[in-house]
Structure 1
Amino acid sequence: MSTASLSLVADTIETSDQPDTDQTTTTDTDPIGENADVELVAPPEAVAEYKNPHELIIDENVRMSFDLDDYPEQEASIRVRGVRAPALAQRGADGKIRVYDGQLRVLLARRVGLESVPVWITPADPDVEDNEQRIERLLDQITLNDRRIPLPEVDRARGIAMMLELGATPTRIAQGLARKRGEVTKTGAIGASQTATRLLAEQQFDLDQLAVIANYDTRGDTDAVTRLENAGRWNFAYTRRLIDNERTTTKDRLETGLAYAVYGFGILTNEPNPDTGYLPIDRLVTEAGEPVTVEHLYTDPTLWVVWLAVERGRLLIDTETGAHVAIEDVDWNTRGNPAAQPGEGLRHVDTVTRADEWTPTYYLPEKALPGSGFTLVATEPDPEAEASAVAAREQARLDRRRVRVLNERGEAANERRHEFLPRLLAGATLPRDTAAFVAETLAHRLGVDERAQVSALLGIEASSEALVVAIRAASPNRAWKIVLAMQVAIAELKIGKSLWRDGGESTGRYLRFLSEAATELTIRTGDTDFALVEVEQAAAGLIDYRDINIES
């Protein structure tokens, strides 16, 4: 073998990095995603050469049914990196080179326009009959196929993580592996986390969920990792949102607490229980028996700690000055209409924004009570009354905590639901009960006159209860008809004789719908009995009412 040939063999053995594929479980004798359990070794008497793929003959192969279109990732990799692992071929007595292993690589190389591919070429033994050579080639193909093992996803994730750690960019790795950059980033994060890689092997979570777990794991947030792992796949999004919001609140609390810390106050990260050694300010008085005020605290802030509770979006703030605004000073009817004029003495909704309200509660550590200049409020002489007062304080604390915790969970639930809704509506098929849901919702909102109109249209008793019964018994198509009837009733009751002038946008939208529906009905059934007349056209915004000829 020549020096050039030896160099080629060494290069192909050491850099065999074809793209991975989920299709390696097929009976493919072509190591297109070469994940083999044996080291590539040159066949006996093989010569390594680069050949034009069009010069190679694809020999018979145990894999006979395949479609090159089924290998888009491999095609993309070959287009970017070329063919790296050599095909196996024999040079016959006629000088032609026949490939017996690597047919897909050669065919894909032809498709993408490569001018050369690496090939290990062995000479056909002239003393061996042709049938015997074919048998040996087929044995080689089957053996190579059987010994190929798909790369486990865990190993792939760890490999990507290692490349990222070594300085490779996600873009470079994505191009090299013919994968999406976002997928590489997520997979690399998973590979850097022991917990995420374990869960990947157990196939408990999808790639996005594992990337979230990996993110918290690399930050050392073991509480978040445990909660997410215990949440399972179906409750994952809610738990993740809840944890994210909790961590955001903790961060915001510490940032808000800096304004207190600069004076010397200690900052609590959790609201203290009564038995944790902290005395709230309302349980203390001065030595003179006066209530403790905030002014007393600032005489020596280092004695005190503060707990900051938050209510998200509770405050209204002037968008320009940052000053607090009372809720009763805002004209909420101007919402969604920048041009609206607020009522007298009121301001437009757009001039205010929501802000979080942080409420401090001050505590004195029990160990700091002696010599502090403060003492406990005198207890009730009646033990039962004192116990009742203690219980009332504790219940009030628990009630406040319940509101805070449930609000946090409500916020997380809302965010998770808002993420889900676009996916719900993204498909071509609506949920089976959509029509019934919309119809029943409308049924409960109809007024007396509207229900009467629906009754006239559909022959249903004019009551909400009767409408609901009819809706629940209806097929989806019938339910949609009921929905349409109710919308028609709502629209019709808004239309008066001056519709041409003051119909409004909703009336115009309704009439344009009727015009299009009438056209469809004409096409479908030949019914030509309805079309918008001029006053309706004016109401629909199709013509100007001033252009109507009133003399005809």
Structure 2
Amino acid sequence: MANTAKTRTTKTAATEQPTADLSALVASGHVTIEVIDVATAELDPNIRTESTYSPEFVDSIRAEGVKEPVYARRGDDGTVYVWDGQRRTLAAKEAGVATMLGLFGLTPATVAGSARILDQLRTFNRADLSQADRIAAYEQLALDGIKVEQIARATGHSKDKVKATLTVAKSTTATQAAKDYGQVSLDRLLLIAEFDGDEAACDTILNVDDEDDLAYVAQEIRDSRATAQAEAALVEKFAADGYQVFTKWGGFSYLSGLTDAAEDMTERPALTEETHTSCEGRGIYLSVWGAGEDDYRADQVCAQSALHRDRYARTTRATLPDESDQERQAREDAAAEAARTERARVLRNNKAWRTAVKVRRDWITGLLARKALPKDAGVFVALSLTTHAATITGYQAADLVGSFLGQKDSHYRGDAAKLVDATPTKAGHVSLAVVLAAREACAEDVNGWRHPSQTVSSYLLALEAWGYKLSPVEKIAAGYSETDNEATDAEADTTSADAA
């Protein structure tokens, strides 16, 4: 590949001179053009640790030499250091070129580390600068005391992006991922930094195929962590009270199906927490679906049901005409398995729905932070005020409006109105926020997917049209067909659907 480098402005700590004035600088003696021994030339520190160039580029250097002089300086011991022209120098070494021209005098005799990095970030416009190199450069600048604002100005990046990059730099796992996997997005690296130390979580984030799925997958991990912590605390609490605690189905019976009454007794009352206190099988079947104070169900069970009697042992079991005992048992087993599968599906999708609510609300907050609203936002507002007017008249989402507009701990009737008064051009944003909050409040409950409605489906489809990616459970609520994979991809759990 031919060398296509163009004449450009070179900025240094001492001076800023366009290369178009090079002849004047040479004539004045400020700049000299000298022949450099390629083999002995050294490279100054460079933010790009891996210089990429094609075999064709090496071939062109071999055939034509280095056409454009590199920028160089001479150290106190006479060593020549190339500070701009890394790829040309490396390609020349590889091609076996003996000499090349170098420009001396456009940089101080010594180059300070942070000044060198800032200069490169300021003047380089290299698509091949890897994420790993950029992270390392920002980290070194921060260690040298360079402020975020200075880095942002030098790179043309926002302060938020610089801060995010520095957050990634603090994570060994994230920085290693940047080195191992090349151009990993900053969003993905930020999530790896968040879950640093959790190998399974980091692997999950790395293996997400679609970048749009990252937010949902990350929230799912956070929710699972919070639920696991809540479950552990509850297990400890019930165990301290003398219970055997079960978090998976099996090896116990509900007290409601057991009795201590004799077989010939007419009244066969179920065991209760009070009558079961002294039993060796005293236990709790714990179902936890969130980290909230009431996000669990604790059922009284017995792990030694043989110590009691089946409360319904004398009840006649329904048998179909001409059905053998074996056929009846098979039918009952199949019905029980179907019920377990459906309960597992309900639990799985309920959990997914709660995660989706958080991701969806974060996305809406980002949507309303944009300068321009979706083109059909006015249509959405109008339909919400007419076709779905009940979502407005039964309004229960005042707190969501402030959150959507970035007004933490605010009440929309006051603070949102103040925003309109202060910035009338934000009236459309406020109107959309109020309506979105109303529609979102109606979609929060898990019945959104269990009993899809036109109100919820039209809301989700509108968000999808504006760029939001629906999760599988949201697609069910939006009217898409539930695939076999979505219905059966988790291990069956016999927890009661009512628990969630």
Using structure 1 for the length normalisation, give the TM-score: 0.40
The structure number with the bigger radius of gyration is 1
Per chain length, whose mean CA-contact separation is higher, i.e. which structure has more relative contact order (CA < 8 Å, sep 6+)? 2
Using structure 2 for the length normalisation, give the TM-score: 0.44
